[in-house]
Amino acid sequence: MSPELEDFDFFAMFTSKSKSVTGRPDVSTITPWLAPIVWEGTYDLTVIDNIYKQQNITVALTVFALGKYVRFLKDFLESAEQHFMVGYRVHYYLFTDHPDEVPAVTLGDGRQLTVIKTETSNRWQEISLRRMEKIEKLIEKELTDKADYIFSLDVDCKFYAHWGAESLGDLVGVQHAGFFGKSRKEFTYERRPESQAFIPFEEGDYYYGGAVIGGRLDKVHKLTKTCRMQLDVDRANHIEAVWQEESHLNKYFLYNKPSKMLSPEYLWDETKGKPSYMKVVRCSQVVKNYAEVRPNP
């Protein structure tokens, strides 16, 4: 091989020599339906910011902190201020039954927080699944004309690194860290045909985490409304899906494929260590004592 050829960067030829786009031969970066899977090394943030900055977008971020989960708020908000959509307008919508206990966190320019007083439940399952209905109604009653994109995140999460406009898309889901690289047979989908969340063993693409939902308002409205209706049908039939709204979300994404998928960088689980494919942990679940924080076992 001539020295010229040896030095020739074939990848750069296709990517206008973007230094940040190195490619990721170690993981899959695209779904079978051609939606990108966002990993470090697969995007150029400068290019992406140029697209979204021009559109002057607002991102709504819903978070629920009911009962003892208010204790997660300080770290959640402080770390989100450091890393989540920095440089964009962000409006937090914080649902809680303890408005007095919301910590005072200094928000950056263009960022605001609205507290919504919400009744709680004596079942954590109910608290978690009710989020679908609350988000559905929030979009209907509040957000039209006020936001372009919305994310819903678990409050027991903490940001450690950049989470920006590369995560935006029409309909966005996250690959659950616990099921990354596992086969569909191992996914904990709802397997009882009596539930609206039922997925047979021979179906399913990925196992999505219930902790992250995102996208354009209309798409997330359709998602939350559909899941809420399916949850209502299940309730009327006295059945609760194995992982509540997460099971219904997985069913929804099976038939309404996300247009963008976030890799486990966006919802890591520290107890899994740091495998070589995890070049960056952007957001991770806080290790919690379930028995201590939840209202019921």
Ligand X SMILES: CC(=O)N[C@H]1[C@@H](OP(=O)(O)OP(=O)(O)OC[C@H]2O[C@@H](n3ccc(=O)[nH]c3=O)[C@H](O)[C@@H]2O)O[C@H](CO)[C@H](O)[C@@H]1O
Interacting residue with ligand X among 73, 155, 168, 261 (CB under 6 A)? 155
Tokens 């109604």 found at = 137
User: Which of positions 133-192 make contact with Mn ion (CB under 5 A)?
Assistant: 154, 156
Q: Which residue is nearest to ligand X (CB)?
A: 210
User: Which of positions 89-128 make contact with ligand X (CB under 6 A)?
Assistant: 124, 127-128
- What residue type is 260 in one-letter code? K
- Helix, strand, or coil (residue 112): strand
- What residue type is 224 in one-letter code? T
CB of 155 to ligand X, least distance (A): 4
- Helix, strand, or coil (residue 231): helix
Q: Tell me, yes or no, if 136 is annotated catalytic.
A: no
| Beta-carbon contacts of residue 206 (< 8 Å; ≥ 6 apart) | 31, 173, 175, 176, 179, 253, 261
Q: 199 touches which of Mn ion, ligand X, none (CB within 5 to 8 A by kind)?
A: none
Give the residue with the Cβ less far from ligand X, 200 or 297: 297
Question: For residues 164 and 153, what is the distance between their CA atoms, to the nearest angstrom?
Answer: 14
| Residues making up the binding site for UDP-N-acetyl-alpha-D-galactosamine | 69, 154-156
Give the residue with the Cβ less far from ligand X, 148 or 245: 245
- Helix, strand, or coil (residue 140): helix
**Sign (positive/negative) of CA torsion 86, 129, 176, 283?**
positive
Interacting residue with ligand X among 43, 69, 189, 253 (CB under 6 A)? 69
CB of 130 to ligand X, least distance (A): 9
- Interface with ligand X includes 41 (CB under 6 A)? no
Footprint of Mn ion on this chain (CB under 5 A)?
154, 156
Active site residues: 246
